[in-house]
C-alpha cells in the first residue's frame, strides 16, 4: 500500500492526543450507556461507513467571476488520486473516488485501476458530462444534450454516456450518474413536453447499455445553467424518470439542488418508501446551489437527512442501499482540508442519527407529543460525538486530528514543488 503521508507523522500527531481522547471516549461511553447505548457498536458502524470523494473536488473550484488556484493543484487524474489517498489515509472515511469524464482524462485504464488499488481506493459512480463541449466534439451542447432538438447531438450525448459505462466497467465501478444542464432561459424557448420525451428516449438508450449489476442515478436540479427551466428540475420529475426507465434507475439527491427551505429530508423519506433513493451528493448551501462545505451552514439539516437514513436502515427498508458522495466546490480553502472536514461532518451526522432513541421517538409520535419528539432528536444532535469519530479513525490507522496532522505533514508544500501551476484545471460545480 502506498502511503501518501508518512505513518511516523501520523503516529507522532496521534501520540500527543491519545490520552485525552481515551478519557473523552470513556466519558462519552458512560454518558451513552446511561441512555442504553453501547458506544462500541456505534463506533463499529461508523468505522464501516464510507463516503466517496469526487475527483474534481481536489482541484480548486471557482465561480462565474473567477477561480483562484492554490499551490500544488493536481495536474491529472493520477495527482487527483494521490490527493484522494491523503484524504482517506487521514480520515479512513473516503475509500472510493468518483470520476468525471472528460474532466478526467483517462487513457491507460489498468494503470489507473492499479494506482487506485495501491492507494487503497476503489472507483465509485462514473459521472458523464454533456453540459460543456469537449475540444473537437462534432456537435455543441449549447442548446442541450440528451434533450437537444437535433438527433445527432442527442446521439452524441448518448454515446458519451455509453463510453462512461465502458470506462467504469474496466475500473470496477457499478453506477453511472447522469446530470444534464439542459433547459431554457426564455419562456417559449423549449417545449416542456417534447424536451422531456426526448430526454426519456435518450435515457432509455443509456439504460439499455447498463450491465445487470449496475445502477443509473439521475440528478435533479432546479436551475442553472439554464435559468428559466431545467428539464430535470425537481424530485418529482426525477422520480418519473426512475419509474419510466426501470428497476436499475434511481434518484440522486444533491442537497444544493433545491430551493431554499425545501424539506429535503422529507423528499428522502418519500424516495426510500418507494424504493427509488439512489444516493446523495452532499454539500451545503445558504442561498442556492452554493456548493459550500457539507455541514458548514446547516448541520441540523444534514442530521435530519441521516435520521431518515438510519430510520430506514433500522427497520430494514426494502431496496435501501444509497450511494454517498461529496459534491462541493472549494473556492477559498485547501480542497484536501475541506474534503476531510466534510467527510467527518457526514460521519458525525450518521453517528448522531444512530444515537437517536427511536423507541422513545416512536412513542412520542404515537402520543402526538410534538415537544418531546423534537427534544428526542435534539438530544442526539446536541451530543458531541467527536470522540467516537476520532477513536474510529485512530483504530483504523488514521489521524485523531486530520487537518492538524495534514498541516504537520507538509504535503501541500511538497506537491507544490512537484506540480507546477497550470492554467485552468478541472474544477467545476455540478
Ligand atoms: Mn451533484
Residue 411 lies in a domain: no
Domain total for the chain? 1
Confidence band, pLDDT 50/70/90 cuts, at residue 420: confident
Ligand 1 centre and the CA of 183: distance in Å? 17
**Interatomic CA distance for residues 52 and 170, integer angstroms:** 18
**What separation in Å is there between the alpha carbon of 85 and the centre of ligand 1?**
22
What CATH number corresponds to the domain at position 266?
3.20.20.150
pTM for this structure?
0.96
First to last CA, the chain: 32
Spacing, Cα 322 to ligand 1 middle (Å): 15
The answer as to whether 401 is a domain residue is: no
- For 234, the grid coordinates are 425537481
Residue 26 has pLDDT above 90, yes or no: yes
Once rounded to an integer, what is the mean pLDDT over residues 132-144?
A: 96
CA of 219 to the centre of ligand 1 (A): 7
The closest of 129, 230, 217 to 189, measured between CA atoms, is 230
| Dist. CA 140 → ligand 1 center (Å) | 22
User: Checking phi first, is residue 246 left (phi over 0); if not, alpha (psi -120 to 50) or beta?
Assistant: left
Q: How far is the CA of 418 from the centre of ligand 1 (A)?
A: 31
Is there a domain that residue 420 lies in? no
DSSP string of 178-203? E----EESSTTSS-HHHHHHHHHHHH
Q: How confident is the model at residue 66 (pLDDT cuts 50, 70, 90)?
A: very high
Residue 22 is assigned to a structural domain of this protein: no
Question: Domain span at residue 333?
Answer: 50-357
Would 171 be classed as within a structural domain? yes
328 near 342, Cβ under 8 Å?
Answer: yes
Q: Please compute, for residue 197, the number of CA atoms within 13 A of its CA located in the half-sphere on the CB side.
A: 7
Distance 283 CA to ligand 1 centre (A): 9
Examine the pLDDT at 110 and tell me if it is beyond 90: yes
Q: pLDDT-based confidence at 422, cuts 50/70/90?
A: low
DSSP state string for 273-318: HTT-EEEEEE-B-SSSS--BPTTSS-HHHHHHHHHHHHHHHHTT-T
Eight-state DSSP code of residue 244: H
Q: Hey, what's the cell of 74?
A: 493536481
- pLDDT tens digits, one per residue of 327-373: 999 999 999 999 999 999 999 999 999 999 999 999 999 999 999 99
Instruction: Please determine, for residue 154, whether its predicted confidence score (pLDDT) is greater than 80.
Output: yes
Residue 263 clears pLDDT 80, i.e. is over it: yes
Q: How far is the CA of 282 from the centre of ligand 1 (A)?
A: 8
Q: Assess if residue 12 is contained within a domain.
A: no
Residue 25 resides in a domain: no
Q: How far apart are CA 99 and CA 387, in angstroms?
A: 32
Query: Where is 182: in which H helix or E strand?
Result: none
Distance 294 CA to ligand 1 centre (A): 12
Mean pLDDT of 374-395: 98
Query: Is residue 384 situated within a structural domain?
Result: no
Q: For 317-337, what is each residue's pLDDT tens digit?
A: 999 999 999 999 999 999 999
For 206-249, the pLDDT digits (tens) are 999 999 999 999 999 999 999 999 999 999 999 999 999 999 99
Amino acid at each position: 500500500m502506498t502511503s501518501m503521508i508518512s505513518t511516523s507523522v501520523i503516529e507522532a500527531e496521534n501520540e500527543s492526543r491519545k490520552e485525552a481522547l481515551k478519557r473523552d471516549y470513556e466519558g462519552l461511553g458512560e454518558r451513552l450507556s446511561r441512555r442504553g447505548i453501547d458506544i462500541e457498536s456505534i463506533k463499529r458502524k461508523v468505522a464501516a461507513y464510507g463516503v466517496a470523494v469526487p475527483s474534481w473536488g481536489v482541484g480548486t473550484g471557482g465561480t462565474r467571476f473567477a477561480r483562484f488556484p492554490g499551490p500544488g493543484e493536481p495536474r491529472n487524474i493520477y495527482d487527483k488520486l494521490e490527493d484522494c489517498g491523503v484524504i482517506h489515509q487521514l480520515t479512513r472515511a473516503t475509500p472510493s473516488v468518483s470520476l468525471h469524464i472528460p474532466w478526467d482524462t483517462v487513457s491507460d485504464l489498468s494503470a489507473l485501476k492499479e494506482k487506485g488499488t495501491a492507494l487503497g481506493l476503489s472507483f465509485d459512480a462514473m459521472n458523464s458530462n454533456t453540459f460543456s463541449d469537449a475540444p473537437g466534439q462534432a456537435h455543441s451542447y449549447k442548446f442541450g444534450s440528451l434533450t437537444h432538438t437535433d438527433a445527432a447531438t442527442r446521439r452524441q450525448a448518448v454515446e458519451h454516456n455509453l463510453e462512461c459505462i465502458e470506462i467504469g466497467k474496466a475500473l470496477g465501478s457499478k453506477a453511472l450518474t447522469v446530470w444534464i444542464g439542459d433547459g431554457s432561459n426564455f419562456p417559449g424557448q423549449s417545449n416542456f413536453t417534447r424536451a422531456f420525451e426526448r430526454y426519456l428516449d435518450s435515457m432509455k438508450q443509456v439504460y439499455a447499455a447498463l450491465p445487470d449489476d449496475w445502477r443509473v442515478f439521475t440528478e435533479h436540479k432546479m436551475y442553472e445553467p439554464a435559468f428559466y427551466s431545467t428539464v430535470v428540475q425537481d424530485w418529482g420529475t426525477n422520480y418519473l424518470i426512475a419509474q419510466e426507465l426501470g428497476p436499475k434507475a434511481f434518484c440522486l439527491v444533491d442537497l444544493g439542488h433545491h430551493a431554499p427551505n425545501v424539506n429535503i429530508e422529507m423528499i428522502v423519506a418519500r424516495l426510500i418508501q418507494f424504493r427509488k433513493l439512489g444516493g446523495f451528493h452532499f454539500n451545503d448551501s445558504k442561498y442556492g446551489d452554493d456548493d459550500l462545505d457539507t455541514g458548514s451552514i446547516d448541520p441540523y439539516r444534514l442530521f435530519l437527512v441521516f435520521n431518515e437514513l438510519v430510520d430506514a436502515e433500522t427497520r430494514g427498508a426494502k431496496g435501501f442501499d444509497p450511494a454517498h458522495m461529496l459534491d462541493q466546490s472549494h473556492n477559498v480553502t485547501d480542497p484536501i482540508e475541506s474534503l476531510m472536514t466534510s467527510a467527518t461532518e457526514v460521519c458525525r451526522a450518521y453517528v448522531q442519527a444512530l444515537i437517536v432513541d427511536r423507541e422513545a421517538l416512536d412513542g412520542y409520535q404515537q402520543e402526538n407529543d410534538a415537544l418531546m419528539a423534537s427534544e428526542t432528536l435534539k438530544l442526539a444532535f446536541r451530543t458531541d460525538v467527536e470522540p467516537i469519530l476520532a477513536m474510529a479513525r485512530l483504530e483504523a490507522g488514521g489521524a485523531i486530528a486530520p487537518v492538524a496532522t495534514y498541516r504537520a505533514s507538509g504535503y501541500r508544500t511538497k506537491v507544490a514543488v512537484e506540480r507546477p501551476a497550470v492554467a485552468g484545471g478541472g474544477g467545476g460545480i455540478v
